[in-house]
Amino acid sequence: MTDEVLVTHEDGIATITINRPDQRNAVNRAVSYGVCAAVDELDARDDLRVGILTGAGGTFCAGMDLKAFLRGEVTRVEGRGILGIAMTPPKKPLIAAVEGYALAGGFEAVLACDLLVAARDAKFGLPEAKRGLAAAAGGLLRLPRLLPPRIALELALTGEMVTAGRLDRYGLVNALVEPGEALAEAKRLARKIIANAPMSVAASKRVMVEQQDWTLEEMFARQAEITGHLLASEDAREGATAFAEKRVPEWKGR
C-alpha cells in the first residue's frame, strides 16, 4: 500500500483516504492501485462491512493527475478504471465522504460509490470537455441514471461545477453537512448499515444495482435467485428472535 492512500479499519468500517493534499488528491497510478487494493480488501474480509472513500486536506479528489498523464503514466487500473472502482465497484457498500472539490475522475469515483455525504460548500463537476477529453470513467454512463437527464447533460457539456446543495435538491446526496463533518457523518451512516444483517445488505445492494437492466418478465425470478436464501438463513431466525426478545441481533452472516 502506498502512503498516497491511507487505510484504517475500525468497527467494521474501512476508511480509505486519498492522501495527496498538495496535489488536490489528483489521481496518479499509485493512488488508483492503492484505492483498488483497499477496496479489494474490504470485499475479501468478513470483519469489514462498509467502506468510506474520502480525501485528505479538505479536498476529495480533483480527478486525474494531468501532469502524470502528460508523462505517460497510466492513472487507471487495467480492466477496472480509475481507482479500480469505475468499472468494478465493490460488492459491499461504499460511501463517498466529500469535502471541497470532487471533479472529473473524482466526481466519477463519487458516482461509483453507493451513498454520498457532502459538505455544504463542496463542489462537483465533469470538466473533461474543457480539456479535450470525455468523462469516460463512468460519468457519462452513471450521471444520467442518477440525475434528471437534462441536468446530467448540462454538467457534461458545459464542464461547469455544481454545488452540493444543487445535487442535494436532485436527490444525489444522502446527507448534506457542515464543512469538516463529512467523514464523521459518513461513519454514522456506515454504523447504521453495519447494524443490519450482512447477507441482507449484500443481497439488497446486488439486486438494486443489477435490476436496472432486468425486464419486467424476469425481474422477480432474478431477484429470487439473489435473495431466496435469506428466508432460510440463521440470520433470519436471529432477526425475528431478537425482535421478539427486544434485544440487539447477533449476526452470523449465514
What does the pLDDT look like over 154-169, one tens digit per residue? 999 999 999 999 999 9
pLDDT in tens, 181-215: 999 999 999 999 999 999 999 999 999 999 988 99
CB neighbours of 72 closer than 8 A, spacing ≥ 6? none
25 neighbors 64 (Cβ within 8 angstroms): no
| Range 97-109 average pLDDT | 97
Check pLDDT > 90 for residue 67.
Answer: no
Cell of 112: 461509483
Q: How many CB atoms lie under 10 A from the CB of residue 31?
A: 26
Query: How sure is the predictor about 1, in pLDDT bands with cuts at 50, 70 and 90?
Result: low
Which residues are CB-contacts of 162 (< 8 A; sequence separation ≥ 6)? 123, 124, 125, 155
Confidence of residue 127 (pLDDT cuts 50, 70, 90): very high
In the chain, where the domains are located = 5-194, 198-244
C-alpha cell belonging to residue 136: 469516460
Q: What percent of the chain has pLDDT over 70?
A: 100
The grid coordinates listed for 134 are 470525455
Statement: the pTM of the whole predicted model exceeds 0.75: yes
CATH no. for 5-194: 3.90.226.10
pLDDT tens-digit series, residues 9-39: 999 999 999 999 999 999 999 999 999 999 9
pLDDT above 90: residue 69: no
Distance between first and last Cα of the chain:
31
Residue 9: its H or E element:
strand 5-10
Provide mean pLDDT across the span 240-249: 91
Question: Is it the case that residue 75 has pLDDT exceeding 90?
Answer: no
Report the catalytic residues.
108, 128
